[in-house]
Amino acid sequence: MKKTNRGFTLLETLIVSTFIASTLIYLFIQISNVKTSYDITFRYDTVPGLYGVQDITTYLTDVTYDDLKAALDASSLGYIDITNGTAITNANQDYYNDIVSKINAKMIIFIKENTTDIVSKLDTNTTFSEEMKKFIRRIDTGKIDSLYRVVIEYNDNTFATLKLGTGTTTQYTNYNIGDSVTVGGTSWYVIKNSNTYSATVTLLKESNIDASTYKFDDFTNSYNSSYVKNLVDTYATNLNLGENLISTRLISGIEVADLASLDWATVKSSGSGTITEPSWLFSSNYWTQTASTSGTNYVWYVNTSQTLTSQVATSTNCGVRPVIVVNKSVIS
């Protein structure tokens, strides 16, 4: 009788197949781990992403977000969409939208620091992208319901989040628009209401800085590339406020219009607006940081004739009044 080795061949095949299958499973697991590590390193909480979230959290702290807390408590979704800013009371829409555009945000949400509620609703959520859901699930949840966080999905498919609130009952001094305060030995006016829950306040310098040699460039009306910005930044640094200085800039044309109870759209279309009050808003001539569409080197400015209008930045010897956001602890 002729002998065969078919049984031996079958056994060899099973062993080799098992080895190959095991190798493939191992490689799949390793590739998945690499993919996860890549997401965490290059897509989650990147440095640019965290700076973007900080811009939003700073703004919310500045204008206060008690309205968002109340809305979130009443929401059945577990979040408030603040991408366009309409849910934020007292928000300067144009200014907020400029921030959102600058950081290239696709979606911005306001949630509790304790993510248990929103995570439980992700499976039925049809608004978030699957990548957004995945990022939210990876957030280390807190246990304090009095803390909140902002989560951002960017247009480049990266994600970032930062906490808001302190979880304490610390009460701060209440400041209203028009209040006069002293910081760094100089006088300032409050230009945004700041209640007892906010640790910061936004201030406009009472008088001008001499900007006669720091005008905007002849060929651009961009604040970020202007000589005036360098002056303002240097001035703020010399206040020696350290970490108590949150941000520095010029007042915007939109803010001037709001403080003067003017409709910004009307001012822009007509080319000017008359400021009747408050008087401290037109006590001197000064540039805003808002570029005008009248020309490549036109900028909105305020003059003592009580007018908000645009002017060629290099044609008028005009000063600037810095705006700073500071911790209330530095106010004397």
Render pLDDT for 256-311 as a digit per residue (tens, 0 to 9).
999 999 888 898 888 888 989 899 988 888 888 888 876 667 888 888 888 888 87
Give the DSSP H or E segment for 110: strand 105-112
Strand duo 319-320 + 286-291: pairing: parallel
Q: Is 72 a residue whose pLDDT tops 90?
A: no
Q: pTM of this prediction?
A: 0.53
Instruction: Report the phi/psi class of residue 283: left, alpha or beta, with left for phi > 0 and alpha for psi in -120 to 50.
Output: alpha
Overall average pLDDT of the 207-236 stretch: 72
Q: Are the CB atoms for 251 and 321 separated by under 8 Å?
A: yes
- Boundaries of every domain in the chain: 47-164, 180-330
Give the DSSP H or E segment for 68: helix 66-74
Place of tokens 């010897």: 317
Q: How confident is the model at residue 214 (pLDDT cuts 50, 70, 90)?
A: very low
At residue 202, what are phi and psi to the nearest 5 degrees?
A: -105, 130
